[in-house]
Amino acid sequence: MLRLMRSFQWALSGIAYTVKTQLNMKIHLLAAVLVTAVSLFLKMPPAELAVLAITIFMVLAAEMFNTALEAVVDLVSPEQHRLAKIAKDVAAGAVLVTALNSLAVAYLLIWPRLEGLLR
């Protein structure tokens, strides 16, 4: 039980590290809070809220994997290296892909409802 609690604590400190050190993570979290508030205000059905939740957590998890990979690359290759650049750029690209996906999901699920309200 103690081991489980320690692992949980370490996982939380990984989340805290990412929020503290990565500006992008702060931006993702702000966007997540705004999208959640708007979707609750719009009284979206549970299935659509679930899609939004999956989308939001995918972006946050991708940013954390990116941060972890950056740390490993800086550890093993503090000097410039072609492969270090590939690793960092591909990981950053993965975050961008999840962010683009979140824009598509917001456009498909939230925009039609907001547009309906504004009419």
Annotated catalytic residues are: 63
Instruction: Give CA–CA dist 70/56, Å, rounded.
Output: 21
Alpha-helix residue ranges (DSSP H) falling in 22-81: 23-41, 46-76
Q: Is 88 annotated as a binding residue?
A: yes
Report how many residues bind ligand ATP under the rule CB under 6 A: 10
Instruction: Give CA–CA dist 93/99, Å, rounded.
Output: 10
Residues between 10 and 29 with contacts to ligand ATP, criterion CB under 6 A: 22
19 neighbors 29 (Cβ within 8 angstroms): yes
Q: Is 80 annotated as a binding residue?
A: yes
Residues between 58 and 87 with contacts to ligand ATP, criterion CB under 6 A: 70, 77, 80-81, 84-85
Q: Is 115 annotated as a binding residue?
A: no
Nearer to ligand ATP, 40 or 76 (CB): 76
Residue positions in the annotated binding site for substrate? Answer: 3, 63
